[in-house]
Amino acid sequence: MIFYRQAQQAVLDGYERLEKLERPTLRPDDYFAEMAKSDVHMQKVRKRLMNKKAGQEMSEKVKKIREIKKFGKRVQIEREQQKHKEKREMLEKVKQFRKGKTDNIDFLSNKPLREQRNRVDGRKTNLRRAMKDRKYGKGGMRRNEKRNNSNDFDDHGVASRRGEQV
């Protein structure tokens, strides 16, 4: 440590002397010194560092993907367990109903919302079509709508011309 501290003190003394003599102590920005290693060797080193960095990034991506898959698998398992639980509860309610322990059959009418929405008049229909039919009415001629009937006959006064009473 003595030699190290002595060298440090010598450098500091040297800087002070150079400042007194007004000599520059730093290299100019445009100064290019000759490298101890060749450009080819430095390209190899740079290439190796880039490959190492790319490998680390790839391994990080793979780890993230693995974690995402594990999380997705966990969610899928939880969904399946929830489904099985609901099925067990439904079967338990059916058993209780069969045994006569309960008169409540509301659990049978709990259809998923998707099925309730898509069903109109007991048939599966396109939701968009159903909405447009509600808004604008169904287009086109209805069966037997153009035929004469007793209401039309009375409305036009044909019965009164023939002497019939309305």
pLDDT tens for residues 41-53?
999 999 999 999 9
Domain ranges of the chain: 59-104, 105-137
CA pair distance 139, 100, nearest whole angstrom: 50
pLDDT tens for residues 23-43?
988 888 888 877 788 889 999
Q: Label residue 134 by pLDDT band (50, 70, 90).
A: confident
Measured in degrees and rounded to the nearest 5, phi and psi for residue 124 equal -80, 125
Total Cβ atoms within 10 A of residue 48: 10
pLDDT tens for residues 51-96?
999 999 999 999 999 998 988 888 999 999 999 999 999 888 888 8
Is the confidence at residue 5, as pLDDT, over 90? yes
CA pair distance 1, 4, nearest whole angstrom: 5
pTM for this prediction:
0.32
- Assigned token pair, 142: 């209805």
